[in-house]
Amino acid sequence: MDGSPAGPRRPGHGGAVVGGRRAPRPLPRRLRGPALERLLSETHHWADEGTGLRAVLVVDDTTLGPATGGVRTRAYPSEGEAVADARGLAQAMTIKCAAAGLDAGGGKIVVWRHGPDRQAAFVELGRRVEALGGGLLTAGDLGTTDEDLRAMARSTRFVHTGGRRLLAAAGRAMLRSVQACADVRGRAVGDLHVAIQGCGDIGTAAARALRAAGARVTVADLDAERAEALAQEIGGRACAPDEVLTLDVDVVSPCAVGGAITAAVAGQVRAWAVCGAANNVLASAEAEDVLLHRGVLFVPDVLASCGAVIEGAGERLMGLLDRTPLIDQLRDTVGDVLRQALDTGTRASDIVRRRAKARIEAKATAHASSREERR
């Protein structure tokens, strides 16, 4: 996917409609051009004594458009570790947006501390996002609640609070990615058994979508009651969390914290495909090498997990009336990546990264040429 889709766009959503397309809403004049580039090229360390807020924003790249990335709320031993996590997640968002054909770049907010009045801290966080003038569109992520996002929305226009639609899109993207795995193996999703690690919002969305498509689903979570409740809801089964990644199934799907697939786990996986929506599923490049050597298909999580950002950025930044065609296109995109990986013996993640960087470089070249022409 090297370009933006030509689907219908939302009228009256911040820009003029021309030929069925909405012109992107311009950023405030004070935040255009070099001023915006300087502002967003920095790592922002946000601290507020009144609310106890301690957060960091990392913007990785805005070549294709404003940065997008969720708010992760998690305790870290130090601010340095929070920055390192935010940087890695922001870089992944850049690749995710480029690979998904979005007119958006990558960023990430990590809240690593707040005072006793949590809602006040997130209202303050919203003020910080608002001050960026639309240079960052954010939403939820691990550890951030719907209440947190609603608190942010009291002080910024640039937070997505439509959690239900985002989760439905995340589940649809996971389904299309697993379908691509099935296509490569000449199978149907209805014939597959998928084991999902993590019964949080993303794991639940994936489980529901896959079960609705006819797959057998086994789920696991550190909260055994939550796993059992989801299993009963969808007509699946629950298993112990330490068993889920090595079950004798068709596909294993890590949808909890990152780094679940270590090199050791990759050597023990009995499934023929790994396709999960957790950020940074692999603990190392070595883990992917082990999977590749064993002939286990691996869907890079920047593709499998991009449903929510397609939904959010597709609506808010690109004005698409219907984002489902872009999500459904993942089936072909993932299938093409998997086949190329098998044919060439190349890591699937490297293939996706090269394609994404090529799209970003092409846009940067076009920008440079346009500036030269205006001189």
The residues that are catalytic are 108
Report the alpha-carbon distance of residue 296 to residue 288 in Å, rounded.
9
CB 111, CB 144: distance < 8 Å? yes
CA angle, residues 224, 228, 232, in degrees to nearest 5: 175
Residue 130: count of CB within 10 angstroms of its CB: 16
Residue type, 224: A
Tell me which H or E stretch contains 18.
Answer: strand 17-18
**Rounded to whole angstroms, what are the CA distances from 348 to 100, 281, 285, 303, 336?**
15, 13, 11, 11, 10
CB 15, CB 24: distance < 8 Å? yes
The SS3 of residue 347 is coil
Report the alpha-carbon distance of residue 44 to residue 41 in Å, rounded.
9
Q: And the tokens for 122? A: 């997130």
Contacts of 122 (CB under 8 A, 6+ apart): 111, 114, 148, 149, 151, 152
Contacts of 4 (CB under 8 A, 6+ apart): 101, 102, 103, 318
Report the alpha-carbon distance of residue 190 to residue 209 in Å, rounded.
12
